[in-house]
Amino acid sequence: MYTQILTQKEIQKAIKQIKVFYETELTKRLNLTRVSAPLFVTKDSGMNDNLNDVERPVGFDALDMPEKGTIEIVQSLAKWKRYALKKYDFKPEEGLYTNMNAIRRDEILDEVHSMYVDQWDFEKVITEDQRNIEYLKRQVEIIYTIFKDCEQVLARTYPHLHVTLPKNITFITSEELLQKYPDKTPKERERLITKEKIAVFLMNIGNKLSDNTIHDGRAADYDDWLLNGDLLFYNSVLDDSIELSSMGIRVNKERLLAQLKEKDQMYKTKFPFHQMLLNDELPLTFGGGLGQSRMCQFLLRTYHIGEVQCSLWPDRILKEMDEKHIKLL
């Protein structure tokens, strides 16, 4: 039976400790500068993230800006960050990060999914010869070391929070995972591989597999499906995998056109962002997002993300958590 390891007050203190440590180390180890980011963008800019291409962004019109048409709450900042790197004149191996807050109204809510998203979005400029799998793996390893160090720091403050992450992270492609567990669903494969390896970077998300499926949906206009992945940890409290980050090397114009064509979305080439990319006006980049609440959920060994984040929950979840004596914020 699950019991909260920390009190609610201790959880609040630990959340601050996690966020201060991780943000400081992320800045230092990836050479990032903090910038301010938008909460909303215009629909016509093409700047919003389409995620899996089915989620509806929250949209509205502005009383004093009718000429802007529909304005959308961001779902992530994947494309905006690339534009910002150009605007602020960042150089190769320099990057930015920002605190991103979003509303995803079509999220199916459960222990790890909330309608409210809070994450660090980061992006850095790279060169053409860094657009390869070796560079991607090096960046993932750097980010993974911050998780390991953060877990060690917490364990010293709260001895009941035992260290669980292994020395090294396991890299595996979605095709390799399919071959390893051919009779399982994508989510079942993730659970099995993380239960075995604890920490996994699953690569090639969105790319078509040998059985003519994809492991998971990914928008065509930010990640290069051949050079991306999800950071997955085994969550022993839930006996399941938990995704802490999605990251990758972003599309160049050739990969943008190929992926848009595959998804039958060539109409997007008319959007301002896509025009800039096709005209070589944007830098080549690597970037991603790190879920702050999920990070806290994993590191503090909580059962539900609502124990570390204030959000709204349907009555069915409130009733279930009450029956389990789990206190949501």
Mean pLDDT (the chain) is: 92
Gap between the Cα atoms of 323 and 178, Å rounded:
38
The token pair that represents 161 in the structure block: 């929070």
Give me the mean pLDDT over the 200-229 stretch. Answer: 94
123 tagged catalytic:
no
Q: Please say if the pLDDT value at position 153 is more than 80.
A: yes
Q: Please say if the pLDDT value at position 89 is more than 70.
A: yes
Instruction: Give whichever of 9-13, 40-44, 162-166, 187-191 has the largest mean pLDDT.
Output: 187-191
104 tagged catalytic:
yes
139 close to 30: Cβ distance less than 8 angstroms: yes
Is pTM beyond 0.85 here? Answer: yes
pLDDT in tens, 96-119: 999 988 888 888 899 999 999 899
200 close to 172: Cβ distance less than 8 angstroms: yes
pLDDT bin (cut points 50, 70, 90) of residue 315 is very high
**Catalytic residue selected from 44, 243, 265, 311:** 243
CATH code, domain with 194? 3.30.930.10
Q: Please say if the pLDDT value at position 53 is more than 70.
A: no
Residue 118 lies in a domain: yes
Q: Please say if the pLDDT value at position 51 is more than 70.
A: no
316 tagged catalytic:
no
Least confident of 25-39, 45-59, 195-209: 45-59
**Catalytic residue selected from 23, 25, 49, 72:** 49
CA distances from 43 to 73, 209, 300 (A): 9, 32, 38
Residue 59 lies in a domain: yes
pLDDT bin (cut points 50, 70, 90) of residue 45 is confident
Q: Please say if the pLDDT value at position 50 is more than 70.
A: no
119 tagged catalytic:
yes
**Catalytic residue selected from 111, 230, 259, 293:** 230
Q: Please say if the pLDDT value at position 242 is more than 80.
A: yes
244 close to 298: Cβ distance less than 8 angstroms: yes
Question: In what side-by-side order are the strands of the sheet with 59-60?
Answer: 40-42, 71-73, 59-60
Residue 36 lies in a domain: yes
Residue 2 lies in a domain: no
Number of domains forming the structure of the chain: 1
Q: Please say if the pLDDT value at position 151 is more than 70.
A: yes
Gap between the Cα atoms of 6 and 14, Å rounded:
9
pLDDT bin (cut points 50, 70, 90) of residue 77 is confident
Gap between the Cα atoms of 327 and 308, Å rounded:
10
pLDDT bin (cut points 50, 70, 90) of residue 52 is low
Residue 1 lies in a domain: no
Choose between 182 and 50: higher pLDDT: 182
Closest CA to 168 of 135, 136, 202, 141: 141
Tell me, what's the pLDDT at 212? Answer: 93
Q: Please say if the pLDDT value at position 95 is more than 70.
A: yes
Residue 3 lies in a domain: no
Residue 16 lies in a domain: yes
Q: Please say if the pLDDT value at position 218 is more than 90.
A: no
Tell me, what's the pLDDT at 10? Answer: 92
Domain residues for the domain of 93 are: 8-323
pLDDT in tens, 171-199: 999 999 999 999 999 999 999 999 999 99
Choose between 232 and 79: higher pLDDT: 232
**Catalytic residue selected from 75, 76, 114, 119:** 119
Looking at the chain, the whole-number percentage of residues with pLDDT higher than 90 is: 73
230 tagged catalytic:
yes
**Catalytic residue selected from 72, 75, 82, 104:** 104
Per DSSP, what are the bridge partners of residue 41? 72
pLDDT bin (cut points 50, 70, 90) of residue 222 is confident
Residue 94 lies in a domain: yes
Tell me, what's the pLDDT at 316? Answer: 94
